[in-house]
Structures are given as structure tokens and as C-alpha cells.
Structure 1
Amino acid sequence: MKLRNALAATTAVAALAFSGAAAAETYRIGITQNNVGVDSYQTTYEQAFIESAEADPDVEAVVLDAGGDVARQIAQIQDLVQQQVDAIIIWPTQGKAVVPAVRAAHNAGIPVVITNSNIAEEGFEFIKSFSGPDNITQGSRAAEIMCDKFKEMGIENEAQIVQISGQPGYTTAIERAKGFEDRLPEVCPEVTLLETQPGDWNREKSQRVMETFLTKYDDIDGVYAGDDNMGVGALNAAKAAGREGIIFVGATNFAVGYEAMGRGEYWGSIYQSPVDDAKNALATAKAILTGEEVPFLNYFDTPKITQDNMDEFTKPVF
């Protein structure tokens, strides 16, 4: 692959620059990503990962993308095992389906780090660490954001909402929905969740899902979307239908979500940086290879962001 060759060349140049000195060991770290082209978060993550690897003379990165195809990702993991890389980072396309390939990497003596979205629990024994956001906490915090707004509006005892979740079978989608659905009845027990439909992380599909919701339900007070890309799709549908007063709450604050918050059209989200996500994954893999202790669940913080406090956060770059 051109990208792999470019990274290898960069590492070779770095190694030459340090010739004559006691050079540190170079670690070959492979990564197979979920679907770089599906949204700007994943595109930015890849760019940040490549930049971090290029800046580290001790790292040679093999960067792959599964394109959302589970079979392709499994083949990529198998190829990385055959290459005998020092560590493998996996952004799973499907949390359960990749477990056998992860087990094979583990059996080959290659440490595995899962990034961004975790694998199914039965695969935990085969990985060294998960690096990424706590998606259940994100869903829980989104429920709190929505409930607090309903209380401010005085409709917490009657509000009706719909949910647009992410890609079915994808751990992030499952966990964010679970966190939201478990927390909402605790903080706003009278709020009714009318229906949940997947938006597959896609703005256009989410707009169509919301159009169906708007036709089906005369009274919708709030929308929870598994990320802001989908949330803005739902917002666009509501605007086109002339349905005002709906409270939109998302997760993974995209630039489009931040901008919509600034216009007063979108209430809140969860702030998550793809740059931090990528850097954390690479640092976790390298720490494992150098013998450092790392948490099994190596989370980075993802705080609440709403129209009330958005000035405290920089606009996302994705």
C-alpha cells in the first residue's frame, strides 16, 4: 500500500537521522479501521493517527481501512498477523464478528488494542486494552442533557421523544443507546421513548428516518441521535417539515452540530475529539510494547456540551 510505504520511508529516514547513536527499537504497529470514508470523524482520526506515527521515530505504522466490510477487516487482521507486526490496533466493523480474528492474533503472540468501539465481551480475554470513549457514559450524559432541558421547559412529565441510533451490531451504537435508555428513566421517568430506528451514522439516511417519524407522530418533543451527523440530518427533516420546538441532543460533537448549536437550532451533545482518540490508541499500543502498565479500559473524557457552555469548547475540526 502506498500509505504503508510512505510511513515506512518516513521511519527509515528517521532511523538514518539517528544512525551512530543508540537508536530505540522500532515497533511496527498495524491498524485496521472501520470505514474512513463514512464520516469526517473517521477521516480526521486517520489523519491524526498518521501524523502521530510519522512524528514518532520509534514507530512504523501499517494503516489499513476495512471500508465497513467485516470480511475485509478479518482478512486485514490475518494479513497483519502474517506480517508479524509488533502490535495490532483494531477499530471494529462489527464487535462480535471480529473476535475469532482477534483470538488468532492473540494466539500468535501479538498484542491487540481495540480503538473507539469495543469488541464483544467474549473477546476481552484476547486483547490488552480498549482505547477510546466510554460510550455508555456518553449515552447517559446525553439523557441528562435532554432531561435537564425538559425540566427547564416544564415538560418533563409529558415529553415524547424518538431515537436515531447508529449502525446495527456496532458496539458504539449499542452502548450509546443503552446508556441513554438506562439513564433517561432514572432522571425523567415520565418521558416516553416512542421509537428507535438506525441511521447508520449517515446524515441522509437519518433525515429520511426523521421524515418517517414526523409523519407517524404528531407530537415529538425531543430527538436523541447517536452522533451529531445523524442529529443534524434529523434537524434538517424537522426544519423542512416546519416542525419547531423539538430538542435535539446528539453525541460526538461534529462541526455541523456545533454550528447548529450556535444558531440555536440544536441543544446539546457530547464533546469527543478524533485527534485525542487516535493519539490515545497509538500511545496505548506503544506503552504496551514498552512494558508499561495501561488500564484495560483506557478511556479519555468526553464532557457535556450545550448551547449554555459551548463557548468553553473549540469548534470541532471534523
Structure 2
Amino acid sequence: MTTKSLIHRTLIFCVLGLFAAMSTAYGDGKPKIGIAMPTVEGDWYSAVLYGAVTEAEKLGYEVVVLDAGGFGHPEKQVDQISNLIVQQVKAILTDPIDPATLDGAVRTAHQAGIPVIGLGTPVISANIQPDAAATSSQCQLGELMADGAKRLLPNGGTIAALAGPPGAYWATERYACFVKSIAGAKIDIVAERNSEEDPATALSIANDLLQRFPKVSLFYAADDTYGVGAGRAIQQAGKCGAVQVLMAGFGKAAEDTMRGGCAQFVVAQRTVLIGRTASELADKLARGETPASRLVEVPFLSITPDHVGEVPLGDIRQPADWKP
């Protein structure tokens, strides 16, 4: 074998080795972005994932979405983030079940050079700041819901609260700011329940609260999963309008509930836009660029029955046939 042919063969092997390494890191020639979420069920998660996934794909990434199966499985989310690190994704988007459990996983991601972005939340772990985040202020959302409660109950009244998943940052922060903001408004919270984010569970709890507090004025619903459950319970009791519903989130079922007269005030996040923005931030960080702002807060919409038909749904809701 001549020296020239030996060099040529060596170069071929080097190129093949480079392609193999790239295939391992990028899969099918595309870089990967990983998304680790508490759940992919429910209108909010479907919408934010639609925004994040479609924007990342438009930017040229393969997207790996991992579902922890609910808020009761923080240890599974830790394992899933570790799995994404092993896959050598270029960035990780996450909404933590319990920030206290993710310090180690986030630290490992950073050691591997992988940025971690808050998807719908500014918090990714208890002690480590996100590299970037696309969110809406949970406290501001709670304050806007309090404004809605005051508008619906100008002379005061009573509230039964479906306060969200136990221990979930977004639900805890949102509700705490709501409670603080209604102080002094002659509005009393007579019941407060935490539960998994499930429509059937929300319906069952709302039914129970209606029986225990038949004269309650208003249901606070942490998001539209709980709000739709409350609206259905009120409808079954024949009390739509007599008992009002205040919720966050504007999925199709929430819109139908409002159009049916069983929900009176919604504070909607531009959820699809949050997802798109998170992927844009992830792309910049993956390319080694510095985003103009590392924390992007997307503004809210307050919706009442009077202008329910004027809502810009493209920023809020995924297409009906899209599934995560």
C-alpha cells in the first residue's frame, strides 16, 4: 500500500468517526432540545408544549419530551433530566415539580455545558438560577385573579378555593398572592383544597364543597382544569351564575364553560407564546449567544363573557388536533 493511499484511507476513517460522533450527539443529524415536564396532560401543558416544540423544530432541532406522569413523581423528573443529559441535548426546558429535588440534576447539566431554561416558570431548582426563563409572573396572575374576585363580589362574599397541586410552585405562589390581594375586601375563604390536576377530581371536590357550602359565592380555580370541574359541578347543581367561577387559563373547555354561563372571569396566560419564547431562548444559549433578556415575562389577558369572542387564541391555545 502506497503512502498516498494510506493517508487517503486514514482520512476516510477519520471522517466516518466524526460522523459517528455527530450522530451520537445529534441523532439523525439534528441537535436535540429536551423538555422535562410534570405532565403533558391538560390545556396549559398542551399549549405550552405546542409552542415550545413547534418553535424548536422550526429552528432545526429534534425535540425530546419527557412526562413525569403527574406532580406526585418528582424523583422521576430528576431521572428524566439525567436521561436528557446522557443524550447530550443542547438545552433542557423544564417546569419543576419540586425545585428542592432538582439542584443536583441542574448542577450536572451545567457541568456538561447544557443550559437549563424555565418553561413557564422562573424557578428551576431551589438554589440554582435558570440560564433563562419564559414565564408569566405567578404572583401577578394571583393579583389579577384577586382583581377579578373584587369585580365579581363588589359587596363581599365567600370563596371556595381549588388551589392546585400540593407543593407545586406555580400554584402556591399564585394562590398566596391572590389571598394577600383580597385582604380587606370583605371576601372570606371558607374552604381550600389541593389536589392533583385532574378534571374528574376537581369535579368531585367541587361537588363536595357545594354540598358543604351551598351559599358559597365564588370558586377560585388555580387553572382551567380546576375551573372546568367547578363549572360542571355548578351546572349540575343548577347554580350557574348564582355561584360564580374565577379561573386561570383559557383552554377550549374553559371557553365553553364561560360561553355556557358557568364561568365569569378568566385570567389567561399567552401559553403558546411562552413556549415559543422558551425555545428561542434555548436556541440562543445553545449557540453560545447571550439573550437580550434572560427572564422574559409574557403579559396576561383578563377575559369576561362580554368579550370572550375577541380573544387572540393563537397565542393561547394549540390547534385542536395537536397532541404532545
Q: How does 1:215-294 map to 2 (within 5 A)?
A: 215-244=211-240, 245-290=242-287, 291-294=289-292
Q: How does 1:1-318 map to 2 (within 5 A)?
A: 8-9=27-28, 12=29, 27-36=31-40, 38-57=41-60, 59-68=61-70, 69-119=73-123, 122-125=126-129, 127-151=130-154, 155-156=155-156, 159-185=157-183, 188=185, 190-244=186-240, 245-290=242-287, 291-315=289-313, 317=317
Instruction: Give yes or no for contact 2:96–2:124 (8 Å, CA) kept in 1.
Output: no
Q: Cα offset for 1:78?
A: 1.1
Structure 2, unaligned runs of 5 or more:
1-23, 319-324
Report percent identity of matched pairs: 24
Q: Cα offset for 1:196?
A: 0.9
Distance 1:170 1:294, change over 3 A: farther
Q: Which amino acid aligns with 2:69?
A: G
Q: Which residue of 1 aligns with 2:321?
A: none
| Distance in 2 between residues matched to 1:233 and 1:166, nearest whole Å | 12
* Number of matched pairs: 288
Q: Secondary structure at the match of 1:131?
A: strand
Q: Which amino acid aligns with 2:162?
A: I
Instruction: Give yes or no for contact 2:34–2:63 (8 Å, CA) kept in 1.
Output: yes
Distance 1:317 1:86, change over 3 A: closer
Instruction: Give yes or no for contact 1:114–1:129 (8 Å, CA) kept in 2.
Output: yes
Instruction: Give yes or no for contact 2:249–2:268 (8 Å, CA) kept in 1.
Output: yes
Q: Which has the higher contact order (CA 8 A, sep 6+)?
A: 2
Q: Which amino acid aligns with 1:229?
A: T
* Structure of greater Rg: 2
Distance 1:203 1:102, change over 3 A: same
| Distance in 2 between residues matched to 1:42 and 1:141, nearest whole Å | 21
TM-score w.r.t. length of structure 2: 0.81
| Distance in 1 between residues matched to 2:292 and 2:169, nearest whole Å | 22
Q: Which residue of 2 aligns with 1:21?
A: none
- Cα distance per residue 1:263-300 (max 9 Å; x no partner): 22210111223321221110111122341234343211
What's the C-alpha RMSD, in Å, of the aligned pairs? 2.3
- Which is worse superposed, 191-200 or 43-52? 43-52
Instruction: Give yes or no for contact 1:64–1:76 (8 Å, CA) kept in 2.
Output: yes
Structure 1, unaligned runs of 5 or more:
13-25
